[in-house]
């Protein structure tokens, strides 16, 4: 999957390429002793039609940037993110705040685990949540129903 635009299997459409392909054998065998001809015209792609620029070292594509440059940019971004995370950890530690970062695939049960934990601990500890989602506020709404404060951050196609 491309880390820049989110394209991936089944989500990519190449402009100007609208016909479907039927990938099947050209000989049809039957339970009897002979085979049948298979006659129809075939379409061959022009050189380069099978390219996907997200398959290089960066697993991404951006017009005008080499894969090497993309990797360099992503390393810089991730390095800056690591710096912010370290600063946040120091700040929370200095304030005596215990933090968790729940990360897993969509639909794996993070919000269910979190809302149950918030419900169980709400009378013992002050609790707050920063919720990240690509599009909706559904998870933050579920979190607020427990009585905990929640801030929603929507990232669009970007990672959160």
The pLDDT tens digits for 22-39 are 544 455 555 555 565 656
Q: Is the pLDDT of residue 76 over 70?
A: yes
- Is 87 found in the same domain as 112? no
- Is 93 found in the same domain as 105? no
- Is 58 found in the same domain as 71? yes
What pLDDT, on the 0 to 100 scale, is given for residue 111? 95
In a domain, 7, yes or no: no
Distance CA 120, CA 109 (A): 17
What pLDDT, on the 0 to 100 scale, is given for residue 10? 45
- Is 160 found in the same domain as 111? yes
Q: Is the pLDDT of residue 21 over 60?
A: no
Q: Is the pLDDT of residue 68 over 70?
A: yes
Record the pTM.
0.54
- Is 106 found in the same domain as 61? no
Domain count, the chain: 2
- Is 136 found in the same domain as 114? yes
Per-residue pLDDT tens over the stretch 127-138 = 999 998 888 889
Residue 3: half-sphere exposure toward Cβ, Cα within 13 Å: 16
- By DSSP bridging, strand 28-29 and strand 128-133 are unpaired
In a domain, 4, yes or no: no
């Amino acid at each position: 999957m491309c880390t820049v635009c989110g394209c991936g299997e089944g989500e990519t459409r190449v402009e100007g390429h609208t016909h479907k392909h039927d990938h099947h054998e050209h000989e049809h065998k039957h339970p009897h002793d002979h085979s049948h001809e298979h006659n129809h015209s075939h379409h061959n792609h022009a050189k380069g039609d099978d390219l996907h620029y997200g398959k290089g070292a960066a697993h991404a594509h951006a017009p005008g940037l080499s894969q090497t440059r993309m990797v360099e940019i992503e390393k810089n971004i991730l390095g800056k993110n690591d710096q912010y995370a370290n600063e946040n950890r120091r700040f929370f530690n200095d304030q005596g705040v215990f933090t968790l970062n729940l990360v897993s695939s969509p639909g794996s049960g993070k919000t269910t685990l979190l809302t149950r934990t918030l419900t169980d601990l709400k009378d013992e500890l002050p609790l707050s949540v920063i919720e990240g989602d690509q599009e909706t506020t559904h998870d933050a709404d579920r979190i607020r129903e427990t009585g905990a404060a929640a801030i929603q951050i929507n990232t669009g196609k970007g990672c959160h």
